[in-house]
């Protein structure tokens, strides 16, 4: 694996191998061992043209735990304001020694462009491109589910038969797209819940069920509900229900949380808008995996950086 651009190009074997590798990195970290030397003398460039808290800092932490040198570029305050292009920006960072480029960009397809245009010889990891893909988020979500459900027996297995409801602004969510591909690959059953105006085009061809009635889906007792943020910044002229109507029908409110089956896990990729798509009671409960997802993101990103920096070698 030279690049990680999306979950749609992963095989089940590759996905399980990445999750297993992340589990091994978590085990080593638990033993409070010093930094691993795996990426010593490798430079990882974080190329963030769009805002981020979790993903950028998590990639930084992951690279440092593997002893890589890390350079972080943020769009704000850079020469983008002087008209510098994606190509020139990326080539400038590669000229400083980058071997792995982690990119977040508002345009769907930006990571693919960097990987396949011939502009760079570095490995490219997609840290979120427009509404398209966010593969490391989906991998850390799958990792978190696997750990919560199977614990010590998680290594080597997928998520066969696990039911996951993904709820909210699916149309604008790269997290949802990456999760649909990966969860399906790992054998999970996915139900998308969204207002009709925020259901993605072409959903009929996706390997999912679709429902606009959140309460009906909750009554079926899914193993996990993954709440999504409403991405107003990506809405250009699309109809959106009023915030009050949205919260009434699609939020994991205190009442809905109280009615959830005991076993249902509560997930959110962050950042959350508390009181809009999720109540604090749900977000802060012991059944919430939200902070576990953040922690697990470091192990998953260590696995991805390690894998892409080794190119095609899997051993």
**Would you count residue 137 as binding ligand CP (CB under 6 A)?**
yes
**Would you count residue 234 as binding ligand CP (CB under 6 A)?**
no
54 annotated to bind ligand: yes
Q: Find the shortest distance in angstroms from Cβ 297 to ligand CP.
A: 8
174 annotated to bind ligand: yes
Q: What is the spatial distance between Cα 170 and Cα 291, in angstroms, rounded to a whole number?
A: 22
**DSSP letter, residue 200:** P
104 annotated to bind ligand: yes
Q: Find the shortest distance in angstroms from Cβ 145 to ligand CP.
A: 16
Of 97, 207, 271, 275, the one binding ligand CP (CB under 6 A) is 271
- Of residues 56 and 65, the one with the C-beta less far from ligand CP: 56
Of 9, 11, 35, 53, the one binding ligand CP (CB under 6 A) is 53
Per-residue contact track with ligand CP, 115 to 134, x per CB under 6 A?
-------------x------
Q: What is the spatial distance between Cα 1 and Cα 12, in angstroms, rounded to a whole number?
A: 13
Note whether 30 and 84 are within 8 A (CB).
no
Per-residue contact track with ligand CP, 90 to 109, x per CB under 6 A?
--------------------
Contacts 24+ apart (CB under 8 A), 276-280: 276/229, 276/230, 276/243, 276/246, 276/247, 276/251, 277/167, 277/168, 277/227, 277/228, 277/229, 277/230, 277/246, 277/247, 277/250, 277/251, 277/252, 278/227, 278/251, 278/252, 279/251, 279/252, 279/253, 279/254
- Of residues 128 and 130, the one with the C-beta less far from ligand CP: 128
189 annotated to bind ligand: no
Interface residues toward ligand CP, by CB under 6 A: 52-55, 128, 137, 269-271
């Amino acid at each position: 694996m030279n690049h990680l651009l999306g979950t749609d190009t992963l095989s089940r074997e590759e996905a399980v191998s990445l999750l297993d590798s992340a589990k091994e990195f978590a085990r080593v970290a638990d033993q409070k061992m010093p930094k691993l030397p795996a990426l010593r003398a490798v430079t990882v460039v974080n190329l963030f043209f769009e805002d981020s808290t979790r993903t950028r800092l998590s990639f930084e932490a992951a690279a440092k735990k593997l002893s890589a040198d890390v350079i972080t570029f943020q769009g704000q305050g850079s020469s983008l304001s002087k008209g510098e292009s994606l190509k020139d920006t990326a080539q400038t960072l590669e000229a400083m020694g980058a071997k792995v480029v982690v990119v977040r960009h508002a345009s769907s397809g930006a990571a693919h462009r960097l990987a396949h245009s011939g502009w760079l010889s570095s490995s490219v990891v997609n840290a979120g491109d427009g509404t398209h893909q966010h593969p490391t988020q989906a991998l850390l979500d799958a990792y978190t589910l696997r750990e919560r459900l199977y614990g010590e027996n998680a290594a080597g297995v997928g998520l066969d038969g696990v039911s996951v409801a993904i709820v909210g602004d699916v149309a604008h969510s790269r997290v949802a797209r990456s999760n649909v591909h990966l969860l399906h690959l790992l054998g999970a059953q996915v139900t998308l819940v969204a207002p009709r105006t925020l259901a993605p085009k072409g959903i009929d061809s996706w390997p999912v069920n679709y429902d606009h009635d959140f309460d009906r889906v909750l009554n079926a007792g899914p193993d996990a509900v993954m709440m999504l943020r409403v991405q107003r910044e990506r809405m250009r002229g699309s109809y959106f229900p009023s915030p009050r109507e949205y919260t009434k029908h699609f939020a994991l409110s205190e009442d809905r949380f109280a009615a959830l089956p005991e076993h249902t896990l509560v997930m959110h990729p962050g950042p959350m808008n508390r009181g809009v798509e999720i109540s604090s009671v749900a977000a802060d409960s012991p059944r919430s995996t939200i902070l576990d997802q953040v922690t697990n993101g470091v192990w998953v990103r260590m696995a991805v950086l390690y894998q892409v920096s080794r190119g095609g070698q899997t051993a």
